[in-house]
């Protein structure tokens, strides 16, 4: 068996990209995976270099937004391997999202295989270890045949695109300022717990408005009572109490973040911290010592300030010490410098 050192692999046929200065944007890579669902079955799927999709004007996705997606990343580890983080959980969540929108299930083991194939084909775009960038992987599925009455499509396409990315928020680890939104993102018994494009369409006006007012993101409240913290447009939240306990909001209408679920385990098993998932009330957020957003894209982005109309809650101008420990441990596991729990790292 032949082994490459990290440096050898980093320099192998990599694309000439300014990795350190990448933002969170789309940069077309060479290959994407495509599989079609027709007459009740998925085909084998294949890699293609064609980044364009041609659809009928009446396709289900165009008329009634029948689309779900996932987000995960590929990393180059210190010893030069390319890995992804818990892709089985993304596959599981895509199954749940598809079921809620009456779409066929793309089985999670085939999902993981397709992710591996796509990343492998785009190896030259996987940012080198230590560059601060990663390869973002976006699996998605949509209704592709014409639908005019309100009903699910009969035909679907599952695809995986990849794009190298840098930090989700400009400024990287600099704490962000978020505001409590007057808009709601998800209704009780609605679709907030799945990763459907429609949830993000709902948040576009609110994010454009937040940016206009100088905020980085919106925090949404529970739509029924508007007393509990839910999540932001693209990440879950976590808080640290003054005595060093991790608290994350529990709700049926937020996305079950894989990053958050992993951080709870990291907090308990690696850092010996208490970690609790429970309803978090808007009127208690002033009592926390630290706050951060967590998600695949956000990793852990420290929150410096939450603005709730006239009220400002400040968590400091630097990433807090417990948030830092969580960040370092999680990214250490992802980049191969800290031993991962069984099954978390999937080598490409």
SS3 content of the chain, % helix, strand, coil (to 5): 25, 30, 45
Rounded to the nearest 10 degrees, the angle between the axes of helix 108-121 and helix 87-100 is: 120
Binding window for ligand COI (CB under 6 A); candidates: 237-245, 294-302, 303-311, 328-336: 294-302
Structure tokens at 215: 């905020």
Instruction: Name the active-site residue from 116, 195, 305, 325.
Output: 195
Please identify, using beta-carbon distances, which residue of 66 and 259 lies nearer to ligand PLP: 259
Neighbours of 89 (CB within 10 A): 19
Measured from each CB, the residue nearest to ligand PLP is: 295
Q: Least separation, in Å, of the C-beta of 313 and ligand COI?
A: 23
* Binding-site partner at residue 236 among ligand COI, ligand PLP, none, CB < 5 to 8 Å by type: ligand PLP
Rounded distance between C-alpha atoms, residue 194 and residue 341, angstroms: 26
- Binding residues for ligand PLP (CB under 6 A): 71, 231, 234-236, 255, 257-260, 295-296
d(CA 23, CA 171): 10
**Least CB distance to ligand COI at residue 171 (A):** 17
- Per DSSP, which regions of the chain are E strands? 32-38, 41-42, 46-48, 67-69, 72-76, 82-85, 134-143, 156-165, 176-180, 217-221, 229-232, 236-240, 246-249, 275-278, 290-295, 299-308, 311-314, 345-347
**Is the CB of 200 or the CB of 281 nearer to ligand COI?**
200
Residue numbers 217-276 binding ligand COI by CB under 6 A: 234
Closer to ligand COI at the Cβ: 45 or 295?
295
Using the rule CB under 6 A, which residue among 297, 306, 307, 319 binds ligand COI?
Answer: 297
Q: Which of ligand PLP, ligand COI, none does 190 bind, CB closer than 5 to 8 A by kind?
A: none
195 is catalytic: yes
Query: Under the rule (CB under 6 A), what is the footprint of ligand COI?
Result: 71, 234, 295-297
Catalytic residues: 195
């Amino acid at each position: 068996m032949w082994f490459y050192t990290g440096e050898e692999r980093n320099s192998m046929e990599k694309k000439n990209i300014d990795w350190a200065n990448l933002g969170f944007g789309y940069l077309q890579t060479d290959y994407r995976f495509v599989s079609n669902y027709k007459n009740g079955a998925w085909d084998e799927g294949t890699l293609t270099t064609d980044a364009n999709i041609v659809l009928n004007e009446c396709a289900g996705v165009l008329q009634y937004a029948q689309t779900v997606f996932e987000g995960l990343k590929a990393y180059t580890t210190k010893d030069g391997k390319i890995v992804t983080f818990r892709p089985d959980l993304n596959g599981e969540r895509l199954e749940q999202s598809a079921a809620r929108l009456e779409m066929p299930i793309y089985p999670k083991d085939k999902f993981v295989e397709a992710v591996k194939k796509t990343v492998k084909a785009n190896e030259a775009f996987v940012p080198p270890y230590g560059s601060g960038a990663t390869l973002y992987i976006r699996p998605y599925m949509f209704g592709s045949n014409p639908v005019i009455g309100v009903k699910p499509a009969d035909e679907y396409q599952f695809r995986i695109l990849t794009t190298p990315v840098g930090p989700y928020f400009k400024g990287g680890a600099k704490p962000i300022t978020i505001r409590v939104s007057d808009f709601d993102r998800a209704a009780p018994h609605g679709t907030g717990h799945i990763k459907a494009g429609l949830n993000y369409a709902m948040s576009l006006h609110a994010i454009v408005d937040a940016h206009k007012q100088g905020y980085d993101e919106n925090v949404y409240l529970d739509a029924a009572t508007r007393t509990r913290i839910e999540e932001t447009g693209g990440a879950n939240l976590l808080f640290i109490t003054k005595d060093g306990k991790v608290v994350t909001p529990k709700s049926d209408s937020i996305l079950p973040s894989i990053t958050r679920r992993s951080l709870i385990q990291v907090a308990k098993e690696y850092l010996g911290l208490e970690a609790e998932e429970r309803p978090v009330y808007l009127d208690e957020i002033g009592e926390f010592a630290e706050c951060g957003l967590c998600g695949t894209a956000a990793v852990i982005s420290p929150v410096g300030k939450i603005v709730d109309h006239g009220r400002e809650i400040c968590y400091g101008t630097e990433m807090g010490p417990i948030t830092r420990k969580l960040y370092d441990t999680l990214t250490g596991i992802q980049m191969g410098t800290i031993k991962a729990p069984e099954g978390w790292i999937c080598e490409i």
